[in-house]
Amino acid sequence: EPEVTQTPSHQVTQMGQEVILRCVPISNHLYFYWYRQILGQKVEFLVSFYNNEISEKSEIFDDQFSVERPDGSNFTLKIRSTKLEDSAMYFCASSKTSGSTGELFFGEGSRLTVL
């Protein structure tokens, strides 16, 4: 069964460092997303990406965040200068149709720990 894969599964970084989280969405999906889950809290929408551009972003997704689809398969989330409060589990998701009305397939997440 096709699945969304994410790397790394866990990354520890120092405050102020840049981090790149990587995702390989399901191959025939057109919509890509990043969500964040701070430990014990709800899953929060960060950004959606369609047709090689950001289609929507939340208030959390400030200038420190960026996304890219550098080739036909990878979808990355970059945090330019990490802060302590960026510590969370980051989930990549993809869908065939817009994720607000169709099934989202989530990866297993990348846990980011900022020290």
Interaction residues for another protein, span 33-52 (CB under 8 A): 33, 35, 41-45, 48, 50
Q: Tell me which residue of 53, 65, 73 sits closest to 5, measured CA to CA.
A: 73
Q: Tell me which residue of 76, 27, 91, 33 sits closest to 57, measured CA to CA.
A: 33
75 binds another protein (CB under 8 A): no
109 binds another protein (CB under 8 A): yes
CB 94 within 8 A of CB 104: yes
- In angstroms, the CA 80 to CA 73 distance is 22
- In angstroms, the CA 114 to CA 47 distance is 21
| Residue nearer to another protein on the CB measure, 8 or 102 | 102
Number of residues that bind another protein (CB under 8 A): 28
Of 14-22, 63-71, 73-81, 100-108, the window that binds another protein (rule: CB under 8 A) is 100-108
Residues contributing to the site for another protein (CB under 8 A): 4, 31, 33, 35, 41-45, 48, 50, 55-56, 58, 91, 93, 98-109
